[in-house]
Amino acid sequence: MPPTPPDQLAVPRLHRAARFEDAVHGLVERRLRRTGWQPNIIAYAGYGAPGWARVLCRVLLGRPDTRRRGRLDKVRGWRSFATLPAKHVRVTIEADGVRQEVTADRSGFVDTVIEGDFTPGWGCVRLSVADAEPVEALVRVLDPAVRFGILSDIDDTVMVTALPRPLLAAWNTFVLDEHARTAVPGMAVLYERLATAHPGAPVFYLSTGAWNVAPTLTRFLSRHLYPAGPLLLTDWGPTADRWFRSGREHKRATLARLAREFPEVRWLLIGDDGQHDPEIYREFAAAHPDHVAGVAIRQLSPTQSVLAGSLPAPPGRSSSGPIGQKWLSAPDGAGLWKLLRESDLV
């Protein structure tokens, strides 16, 4: 089993935004249940190692026909956020013949660690709620011999979303059809080459994006031939103690958790210079130097960099990382691959 994260301080009372959200959800849920809507599990890919697995899913209310599919159909961005969680529903997890019951949180999420005799590679666990067909959730199980992993940002690192431009980012997220999104040039080839150079190396995708868009992102990554890997996203909307979750804290906490769970793995951290990736990676590399193989930053265009509040930097090796760390930057996957090879990271 991985190390248990430190206990969080209890919040005595929900934030007023969360209380308002719960009240609205309660009213809508009662009306929808009277019309026949029932809980529906959306399974996300998890990860683990022999002996344990982190299982991720969300329980939403849906019509009977959507419950049989066990997933969200292709929809425009805004529809991914027009969902209603089935909070505090009991979910049964079955793995290796062992059944375990957990309770979804107020947003319908299940994020739990289970024990099991998992074989390295891709496996699956069975998820079910009362009176619904079970669904299967994939689990990427790391071999104990693995010493190298790839952890990548998503927005403007593998997929062009223009997040430094708020209005266009909102259009891309809430309006644009997923087939209209474009991949960052050369990044899929870069990841495939890295996976080939390091057999068994896991690929994790870490983003401040909401779990609502996980099915869309999974289809995008598959369609553009990125290596399959778990998505590590965050919740949408008010939390127990604030209006919205902190994207930066989500990334920091996830990196720290991976360092605890896989202490022998050294990660190649891949991001872009349009948000806070260099800062977050720099902090992690300084605190956990033995867990970082290198950092590769995809440079945005000069216009995007200015709009993001930073000045464009020349491609090549960067001196912005901690002493002894390999920091590389280039505008696309081909440039990063060249630098990675020169730095003996492949």
51 inside domain = yes
192 in the same domain as 115 = no
Cβ-contact 120, 202 below 8 angstroms:
no
9 located within any domain: no
Strands 292-298 and 203-210, by their bridges, are unpaired
Residue 71 and residue 220 in one domain: no
Q: For residues 139 and 120, give the distance between their C-alpha atoms in angstroms, rounded to a whole number.
A: 10
The strand pairing partners of 23, in sequence order, are none
- Domain boundary residue, one of 141, 162, 193: 141
Number of domains in the chain: 2
The sheet with strand 51-62 has its strands ordered as 98-103, 90-95, 121-128, 135-141, 38-49, 51-62, 109-116
Is 65 within the bounds of a domain? yes
Do the domain assignments include residue 314? Answer: yes
Looking at the structure, tell me whether residues 190 and 317 fall in a common domain: yes
Is 103 inside a domain boundary? yes
In a domain, 1, yes or no: no
pLDDT at 93: 97
> Could you tell me which residues come within 8 angstroms of residue 280 by beta carbon, excluding any fewer than 6 positions away?
248, 251, 252, 255, 271
Query: What is residue 8's predicted lDDT score, i.e. its pLDDT?
Result: 41
Residue 82 lies in a domain: yes
Amino acid 177: pLDDT:
64
Structure tokens at 55: 């299982």
pLDDT single digits (tens) 297-325: 999 877 655 555 555 555 555 545 554 56
Question: 214 and 70 in one domain?
Answer: no
Residue 174, pLDDT score: 55
pTM exceeding the 0.95 threshold for the entire prediction: no
On whether both 132 and 275 belong to a single domain, the answer is no
For 282, the domain range is 148-342
Looking at the fold, whether 204 and 281 belong to one and the same domain comes out as: yes
- Final residue of a domain: which of 79, 112, 141? 141
Residue 152 shares a structural domain with residue 22 = no
Low-confidence ranges of the chain (pLDDT < 50): 5-12, 20, 67-73, 75-76, 78-79, 81-82, 164-165, 168, 243, 319, 323
Determine the pLDDT at residue 254.
97
Domain harbouring 212, CATH code: 3.40.50.1000
Q: Give bridge partners of residue 123 from the DSSP assignment.
A: 139
Q: Within this chain, do residues 336 and 219 fall inside the same structural domain, yes or no?
A: yes
Specify whether 297 is located in the same domain as 282.
Answer: yes
- Residues 316, 217, single domain; the answer is yes
Residues 136 and 166 in one domain: no
CATH number for the domain that contains residue 40:
2.60.40
Same domain, residue pair 161 and 71 = no
Q: Could you read off the pLDDT of 74-131 as tens digits, one per residue?
A: 544 544 544 678 888 999 999 988 899 999 988 889 999 999 999 999 999 999 998 7
Considering the domain boundaries, does residue 7 fall inside one? no
Please provide the average confidence, as pLDDT, over all residues in the chain.
80
